[in-house]
Amino acid sequence: MALIQKVPVTVLTGYLGAGKTTLLNRMLTENHGQRIAVIVNEFGEVGIDHQLVIDADEEIFEMNNGCICCTVRGDLIRIIGNLMARVDAFDHLVIETTGLADPAPVIQSFFTDEVMARQTQLDAVVTVVDAKYISEHWDSSEAQEQIAFADVILLNKSDLVSPEHLENLEKKVRGLNAIATIHSTQDCAIGLEQLLGIQSFDLKNALSIDPQFLDEDAHEHDESVYSVAITATGTVDSDQLNRWLYQLVQAKGSDIFRMKGILDVDNADRRFVFQGVHMTLDGRPGKPWQPGERRQSELVFIGRNLDEAELRQGFQDCLAKAYADVS
């Protein structure tokens, strides 16, 4: 039986006016050799965004009458199901969400819907941030969630702000998301090899968390959304880990936007890598530990109302060795 070649999918998000359509036009017109299908979501009964996307050979599917994260989620699943019948016609799928969308339900669809899980692979969540005007919307839950869920963040319109402003903005963004790759752009000008086919959301890519992120102050408790980073030595008991994560998402799942981790579990030969979105958890073996390599578990939680002390203690209780070091 032939294996199904999964289609990579990029979810493109960002607050109103950040530059998503500009980036989408670059994706559709630059000479990258890929055939891209696009799903454009609009809020309201009259569609406009698809008219702003300049002519290209790629196919564009428009959904309206609601936000992609709620009323039209069924439409998203249906359209992708129909696209899979013509999967030979394109190499990559881009889903552009409305500027007022919470990306979480879209991301979860790739885990929970059978067709999407079997035939597509979520490649990355790309968020465009308006460097000049994001401060006016910083307290918006949608803007914060779009940043928190991202794998790649473009600080766009960087030419319209001072270097000091851009540096401060990057620090604030890093406070919301300790694990995303951040680029500064003008008119969303960036090599598409840094956005497409990067497997930032692919567990098979053996997720890595840059140690320098964990060295920074990754949590800002005066903000409603922030990151908590944990590193630990000592092997993790898998039964305790499963029990803790299950209880955690049951109690706090609505407040946990993203989880990522690379763990030393049961002294296994391979890393265990996991990630989660709200109540959804997924994990599997990662890259082998090398002989003599220092084993270390690394976790990052991104969300709202996170109790750092409680998270650290919860993970401490999962360690097989009580004297293991958690930082």
**Segments making up each domain of the chain, as ranges:** 7-201, 205-316
CA separation for the pair 37, 88 (Å, rounded): 11
The reported pLDDT for the residue numbered 1 is 39
Average pLDDT for 60-71: 36
Quick count: other Cβ atoms within 10 Å of Cβ 254? 13
The reported pLDDT for the residue numbered 103 is 76
Confidence class for position 313, pLDDT limits 50, 70, 90: very high
**Residues 6 or more apart from 309 whose CB is under 8 A from it?**
none
Least confident residue range of 91-100, 296-305, 311-320: 91-100
The reported pLDDT for the residue numbered 266 is 92
The CATH number assigned to the domain with range 7-201 reads: 3.40.50.300
Confidence class for position 44, pLDDT limits 50, 70, 90: very low
pLDDT per position as a tens digit, 212-253: 434 434 433 335 677 888 989 999 999 999 999 989 988 888
Nearest to 122 by CA among 64, 200, 20, 227: 200
Exposure b/e, 152-169, CB count within 10 A at least 16 = b = bbbbbbbeebeeeebeeb
Nearest to 12 by CA among 141, 101, 89: 101
Give the helix ranges, DSSP H, for the chain: 20-29, 49-52, 73-84, 104-112, 114-119, 141-148, 163-176, 211-215, 238-252, 308-316
Give the helix ranges, DSSP H, for 85-210: 104-112, 114-119, 141-148, 163-176
pLDDT(60) > 50:
no
pLDDT per position as a tens digit, 145-198: 889 889 999 999 999 999 999 999 999 999 888 888 999 999 999 999 999 988
The reported pLDDT for the residue numbered 46 is 30
The reported pLDDT for the residue numbered 228 is 87
Average pLDDT for 257-269: 87
pLDDT(51) > 70:
no
* Better-scored residue on pLDDT, 274 or 113: 274
Nearest to 43 by CA among 70, 77, 11: 70
Superfamily of domain 205-316: CobW-like, C-terminal domain (3.30.1220.10)
Exposure b/e, 264-281, CB count within 10 A at least 16 = b = bbeeeeebbbbbbbbebb
* Better-scored residue on pLDDT, 89 or 44: 89
pLDDT per position as a tens digit, 90-102: 788 888 886 656 7
How far the first Cα of the chain sits from its last, in Å, is 47
Confidence class for position 126, pLDDT limits 50, 70, 90: very high
Q: Count how many Cα atoms sit within 13 Å of the Cα of residue 258 in the half-sphere of its side chain.
A: 28
- Cα–Cα separations (whole angstroms), residue 293 to 82, 264, 271, 288, 296: 47, 12, 12, 10, 9
Contact 203, 273 (CB under 8 A): yes
- Cα–Cα separations (whole angstroms), residue 264 to 134, 206, 271, 296: 39, 13, 6, 6
- Cα–Cα separations (whole angstroms), residue 169 to 42, 100, 133, 154, 302: 28, 21, 11, 12, 18
* Better-scored residue on pLDDT, 286 or 9: 9
Average pLDDT for 290-295: 88
